[in-house]
């Protein structure tokens, strides 16, 4: 039986980041289940994406080429010629304005950022708000909203790395993960989705329709696992009923602590990254968790969607509001 538990969340204006989430284990002991650097300077270096709001476009756009109605726009590239997470100066590297907010039994903070026309190459001035709220039932809600004065591409997410062991285990390999998806988008060597339709997960290392221990899947012989560095860095195509309300996307569990995390979202896709390239560098001046030290559960649209007419659209016309909601629900199992 899952029992809701109170949570305590901290945020930062740098990157509109989720910096800490403290929640109880099955015995009531609180611990932080978010990977965060001890020094704020690391947020501009080795840990720049940790907990941050990612934009203007989360994930990858191949060759940094954005096809628009007025021709191809060349975005600023920052990963092997591709544009990753909005470019080298994405939303994660910005100082957002912040104000407290309260709605009924929920309290939190609303962040705002104005991204000017041409920012990292993206057309139009984009005004974005990200609102974090928590309640007494152990629910953390993230609401995204944006408007732009020109047609642009928008895909926002949160890049928190979770480790439900709360410091008891260095890695997430003993976590169980379930994802509500029957298909995923395979990638090439640059982690750009391959041409063609999504592939069925059945019979592959990507079949998470039932809970699977991460240790059992991240180092399999699957070619897609190898391309991602020995783990997941892939997008799952979520089952959606067509309703606007957040629907269950994933469940992460750690049996040792009894902690359970449910992720619900309005988004069509879920990028899972298992910290394959973390090095565990012993240099105390560099923040680097051990390999597989955390798992990112990124609700979003699919990678490279602006260049793929067969994917759900990520275009935001002027005068039309962008909205997205993701909920992380914490509980313990007894």
Give the span between the Cα atoms of 274 and 291, in whole angstroms. 8
Between the alpha carbon of residue 292 and those of residues 103, 182, 280, 321, the distances in Å are 37, 24, 10, 37
Give the span between the Cα atoms of 315 and 67, in whole angstroms. 11
Name the active-site residue from 19, 85, 139, 159: 159
Cis? peptide before 56, omega within 30° of 0: yes
Active site residue 85: no
Neighbouring C-alpha atoms within 13 Å toward the C-beta of 334: 9
Between the alpha carbon of residue 96 and those of residues 156, 248, 264, the distances in Å are 15, 29, 25
Name the active-site residue from 19, 175, 298, 301: 298
**Burial class, 92, CB count within 10 angstroms (exposed 0-12 / middle 13-18 / buried 19+):** buried
Give the span between the Cα atoms of 98 and 149, in whole angstroms. 23
Active site residue 298: yes
What secondary structure does DSSP assign to 190-243, as a single string? TSPBPSSSPEE-TTSTT--SS-EEGGGTTTSS-HHHHHTTSS-EEEEEE---S-
Catalytic residues: 159, 298
């Amino acid at each position: 039986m899952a029992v809701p538990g109170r949570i305590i969340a901290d945020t930062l204006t740098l990157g509109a980041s989720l910096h800490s989430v403290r929640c109880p284990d099955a015995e009531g002991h609180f611990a932080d289940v978010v990977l965060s650097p001890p020094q704020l300077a690391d947020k501009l270096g080795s840990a720049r994406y940790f907990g941050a709001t990612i934009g203007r476009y989360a994930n990858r756009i191949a060759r940094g080429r954005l096809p628009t109605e007025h021709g191809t726009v060349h975005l600023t590239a920052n990963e092997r010629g591709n544009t990753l997470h909005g470019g080298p100066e994405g939303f994660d590297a910005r100082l957002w304005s912040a104000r407290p907010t309260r709605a009924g039994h929920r309290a939190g903070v609303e962040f705002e950022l104005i991204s000017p026309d041409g920012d990292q190459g993206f057309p139009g001035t984009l005004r974005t708000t990200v609102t974090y709220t928590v309640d007494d039932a152990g629910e953390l809600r993230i609401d995204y909203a944006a408007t732009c004065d020109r047609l642009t591409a928008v895909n926002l997410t949160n890049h928190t790395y979770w480790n439900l062991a709360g410091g008891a285990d260095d890695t997430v390999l003993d976590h169980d993960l379930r994802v509500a998806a029957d298909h995923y988008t395979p990638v090439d060597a640059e982690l750009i989705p391959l041409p063609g339709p999504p592939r069925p997960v059945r019979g592959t290392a990507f079949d998470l329709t039932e809970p699977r221990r991460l240790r059992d899947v991240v180092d399999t012989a699957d070619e897609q696992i190898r391309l991602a560095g020995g783990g997941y860095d892939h997008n799952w195509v979520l089952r959606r009923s067509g309703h606007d309300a957040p629907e269950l996307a994933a469940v992460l569990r750690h049996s040792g602590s009894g902690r359970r995390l449910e992720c619900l979202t309005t988004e069509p896709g879920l990028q899972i990254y298992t910290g394959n390239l973390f090095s565990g560098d012993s240099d105390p001046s560099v923040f680097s968790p051990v390999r597989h030290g955390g798992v990112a559960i990124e609700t979003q649209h699919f990678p490279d969607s602006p260049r793929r007419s067969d994917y759900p659209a990520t275009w935001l016309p002027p005068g039309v509001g962008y909205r997205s909601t993701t909920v992380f629900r914490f509980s313990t199992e007894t």
